[in-house]
Amino acid sequence: MTAMPKWADAVLVPLISLLIAFVISGLVILAIGENPMEAMRIMVSGALGSTYGWGYTLYYATNFIFTGLAVSVAFHAGLFNIGGEGQAGVGGLGVALACLYIPWPHWSLALAAALVASAVFGAAWAAIPAWLQAKRGSHIVITTIMFNFIASALLVYVLVNILRPTGSMDASSARFAEHLRLPRLNEILALVGIPFNNRNPANISFLLGLVACVAVWVLMWRTRLGYELRAFGKSEKAAVYAGISPVKITMAAMLISGALAGMMAVNTVMGEAQRLILNSVEGAGFIGIAVALMGRSHPFGVLLAALLFGFLYQGGAELALWTKIPRELIVVIQALVILFTGALDNMVRRPVETLFLMARKGR
Amino acid sequence: MDFATLIQILDSTVRLATPLLFACLAGLFSERAGVFDIGLEGKMLAAAFLSGAVAAVTGNVWLGMFAGIGASLLMAAIHGLASITFRGNQLISGVAINFLAAGLTVLLGQNWFGLGGRTPALTSGGRFEPIILPFAEAMAPVPVLGPIYSELISGHSFPVYLAWAMVPATAWLLYRTRFGLRLRAVGENPAAVDTAGVSVTAIRYAAVAICGVLCGLAGAYLATGLAAGFGKDMTAGRGFIALAALIFAKWRPWYALGACLLFGFLEAVGNRFPNIDLGLIVLPAQFMQALPYILTVVILAGFVGKAIPPRAGGEPYVKER
């Protein structure tokens, strides 16, 4: 017998966890002598009070949609892909190579190529840990952590020694051709007559993120592979008994996961910086973990959680601008969200379950 | 490369290996008891921050060290609560602890000192002073043995010697005491320990607490021994290198010493010679930085002797009813 109705499991428990995380964050703000209410007001007005703020919120959210989906797909197969950071970084290398070395006539072709390149590069970076897990039983969490560090060393090397234009002191690639600039969200919205601020990096990648959400939903709940992934994640033994190959599923889950993480780079590298810079991922790969946990690994939940973290990111930047609270407050909130929705899930869940059981008995 | 350079590199190896060794032994206690810990980094960072802060304010390095251990123990308590009491995912808890430490240290550091997350630079009393061993001065002129004794063995600070002493201590505790036997058993087959009437929860909490103390020492040495004060994100992945060393050492104390010295040596060589010219190819500095991680992946892949983790690692223990 399940103790709780489905809605409580999917909505109530994460919301309570989020509330606890926010209350503790408020106490932290109080402890450093600032006003939590005022901080919240600045964050809301900074991130959601103007289309400028919305632009940044959606730009950050786009990153988190991709990395959140990446972690979710692996979660469904019972794998913890902590390597989104490295996969997204290497995906960025794919985007840069596709945009720099092929003279595309139009941005739409370049976008398609960049998508494919980022997905292939990201998937390739996930492939080695996946293969080691599937064939050699090496723990995927440890190998993906190691691959994050290897990726960051590799990217520094490639940027400094290969992609950096001669004479430039900056460890970054050359700028992509101007006509490869992706359409910004304000240009797209202008087509349907909605005015939107034009000084923010939100671009067409946000729409791609929405498409990715739908695609992952179709994959997970409407295809045979998705069914096999979920079955494998629920019970490896039962899945093997049903004729599902562990090697195939581990590889498939991690390749899809790596590809999704890699595609994040289209937003940052092609959509915003228009060149590959050092540390272009900026921790978004790790935020994907919080987003996936918060969104209960469901694409719709991931979308909402990504928007929430996009809001926190932009709000946090405004907070750092207007108050003495540094941006790292967001890292604390992120940690608390991971802690309460992930590791301390049972602490929140058990009392709620007990309440539901009591209510049922009383009836 | 002459003898003096070699001594300098080895000297620097010993110092750089010290925080790794503390953190590696910390992870060893935790993981041998069946609690995975990828939050070594966060615990070290929290300890480095608080020890740097307290040492700067009080001017007393020992107070700083104990404060650092306290900070690390607090993080360990969260990890224990999540992974032992509430049977949560130990890996996710570790990730959360790493971010908590990364965020809180800068948040509090900026609030307390206003130096962008740094703590004020430590003066003499706030740092661990080098300990000159007896006869170091007198031995110095002796060829070969002299420099080895006076520069390589003598002249390190207290945590360095403590870290080395922790290796036989850990080996003794794990393999020669009842507590050690139980700790290892909890990591392999907790149900058997439970059947024998020993509390799995208590042993695991003890292991997590020891892990906290050792990570605290690692962090305190970083901020008050290696450097003169805490800097934002100063652990810089050392917690993960320690984790790599732990796997490299196959969860054994003496091997841990070897692995940490190897990784410390790689860092020392990388610091001294950014690019290594091998004649045919030049090894870039980034390769040296990535080498510990690459080696760990190779070991994990089982091509060079398989690393088998404790069998009950990562599994919360649920008592039979």
Q: What is the pLDDT of residues B83-114, one digit of tens each?
A: 999 988 888 899 899 999 999 999 898 888 88
Which residue among B86, B89, B294 places its CB closest to the CB of A150? B294
The pLDDT, as a whole number, for residue B258 is 92
Which residue among A80, A333, A336 places its CB closest to the CB of B91? A80
Which residue among A137, A150, A345 places its CB closest to the CB of B293? A150
pLDDT interval class at B228 (50, 70, 90)? confident
Which residue among B81, B96, B289 places its CB closest to the CB of A335? B96
Q: To which residue do tokens 């409580």 refer?
A: A8
Residue B104 falls inside a structural domain:
yes
**Encoded tokens for A214:** 């739908």
User: B156-157 and B130-131: which strand pairing?
Assistant: antiparallel
Cβ neighbours of B274 in A, within 8 Å? none
pLDDT interval class at B304 (50, 70, 90)? low
| Residue A36 C-alpha from the chain's centroid | 27
Give the total residue count for chain B.
321
> Is the pLDDT at B137 greater than 90, yes or no?
no
Interface A:B, Cβ pairs < 8 A? 151
% of chain A exceeding 90 in pLDDT:
53
Task: Kindly state the helix (H) or strand (E) to which residue B131 belongs, with its residue range.
Answer: strand B130-131
* Max avg pLDDT among A159-168, A193-202, B113-122, B195-204: B195-204
Residue B319 falls inside a structural domain:
no
% of chain B exceeding 90 in pLDDT:
45
Q: Which of A48 and A170 is assigned the larger pLDDT? A: A48
The alpha carbons of chain B give a radius of gyration, in whole angstroms, of 20
Q: What angle do CA A192, A195, A198 make, to 5 degrees?
A: 115
The pLDDT, as a whole number, for residue B281 is 75
Question: Hey, are the CB atoms on B96 and A329 less than 8 Å from each other?
Answer: no
> Is the pLDDT at A76 greater than 90, yes or no?
yes
**Encoded tokens for A161:** 């020694």
**Burial of A3 by CB count in 10 Å (0-12 exposed, 13-18 middle, 19+ buried)?**
middle
Q: What is the DSSP letter of A135?
A: I
* Max avg pLDDT among A114-128, B104-118, B140-154, B264-278: A114-128
CB proximity under 8 Å: A 64-83 to B: 80, 82
Question: How many CB atoms sit inside 10 A of residue B191's CB?
Answer: 15
Largest CA distance in chain B: 70
Using CA coordinates, name the residue in chain A closest to B237: A149
% of chain A exceeding 70 in pLDDT:
99
Cβ neighbours of A343 in B, within 8 Å? 82-83, 86, 88-90, 92-93, 96
List the single best residue of B87, B99, B118 to mutate versus A (max A Cβ within 10 A): B99
> Is the pLDDT at A363 greater than 70, yes or no?
no
pLDDT interval class at A163 (50, 70, 90)? confident
Tens of pLDDT, residue by residue over A94-143, are 999 999 998 889 999 999 999 999 999 999 999 999 999 998 888 888 89
Q: To which residue do tokens 């190529």 refer?
A: A113
Name the minimum distance, in Å, from the CA of A35 to any CA of chain B.
Answer: 14
User: B156-157 and B276-277: which strand pairing?
Assistant: unpaired
Cβ neighbours of A334 in B, within 8 Å? 99, 103
> CA–CA separation, A186 vs B150, rounded Å?
69
The pLDDT, as a whole number, for residue B1 is 65
Residue B266 falls inside a structural domain:
no
Residues B14-25, mean pLDDT to the nearest whole number: 94
The pLDDT, as a whole number, for residue B305 is 62
The pLDDT, as a whole number, for residue B88 is 87
The answer to whether the CB of A76 falls within 8 A of the CB of A229 is: yes
The pLDDT, as a whole number, for residue B321 is 67
The answer to whether the CB of B56 falls within 8 A of the CB of B114 is: no
* Total tally of structural domains belonging to chain B: 1
Tens of pLDDT, residue by residue over A315-358, are 999 988 888 888 888 899 889 988 998 888 888 888 888 888 88
Name the minimum distance, in Å, from the CA of B81 to any CA of chain A.
Answer: 8
List the single best residue of B276, B286, B299 to mutate versus A (max A Cβ within 10 A): B286
Residue B260 falls inside a structural domain:
no
| CA B211 vs CA B20, B35, B61, B123, B183: distances in Å | 13, 10, 21, 29, 13
Residue A171 at interface with chain B, using a CB cutoff of 8 Å: no
The pLDDT, as a whole number, for residue A1 is 47
Residue B108 falls inside a structural domain:
yes
User: B276-277 and B130-131: which strand pairing?
Assistant: unpaired
Using CA coordinates, name the residue in chain B closest to A130: B301
> CA–CA separation, A114 vs A209, rounded Å?
14
> CA–CA separation, A354 vs A286, rounded Å?
33
Average model confidence (pLDDT) for chain A?
90
- Using alpha carbons, select from B174, B171, B297, B301 the residue that is nearest to residue B244: B297
Partners of A184 in the beta sheet?
A203
The pLDDT, as a whole number, for residue A95 is 94
Question: How many CB atoms sit inside 10 A of residue A242's CB?
Answer: 11
Residue A127 at interface with chain B, using a CB cutoff of 8 Å: no
Question: Hey, are the CB atoms on A329 and B103 less than 8 Å from each other?
Answer: yes
List the single best residue of B287, B300, B311 to mutate versus A (max A Cβ within 10 A): B300
Tens of pLDDT, residue by residue over A298-318, are 999 999 999 999 999 999 999
Question: Hey, are the CB atoms on B95 and A334 less than 8 Å from each other?
Answer: no
How many Cα atoms occupy the beta-carbon half-sphere of B48 within 13 Å?
34
Residue A35 at interface with chain B, using a CB cutoff of 8 Å: no
Domain that holds residue B130: 3-236
List the single best residue of B24, B293, B296, B315 to mutate versus A (max A Cβ within 10 A): B293
Residues B251-257, mean pLDDT to the nearest whole number: 93
Residue B221 falls inside a structural domain:
yes
Residue B315 falls inside a structural domain:
no
Name the minimum distance, in Å, from the CA of A271 to any CA of chain B.
Answer: 28
> Is the pLDDT at A2 greater than 80, yes or no?
no
Cβ neighbours of B244 in A, within 8 Å? 142, 146
pLDDT interval class at A258 (50, 70, 90)? very high
Residue B269 falls inside a structural domain:
no
The pLDDT, as a whole number, for residue B306 is 66
> CA–CA separation, B316 vs A65, rounded Å?
31
> CA–CA separation, B229 vs A259, rounded Å?
41
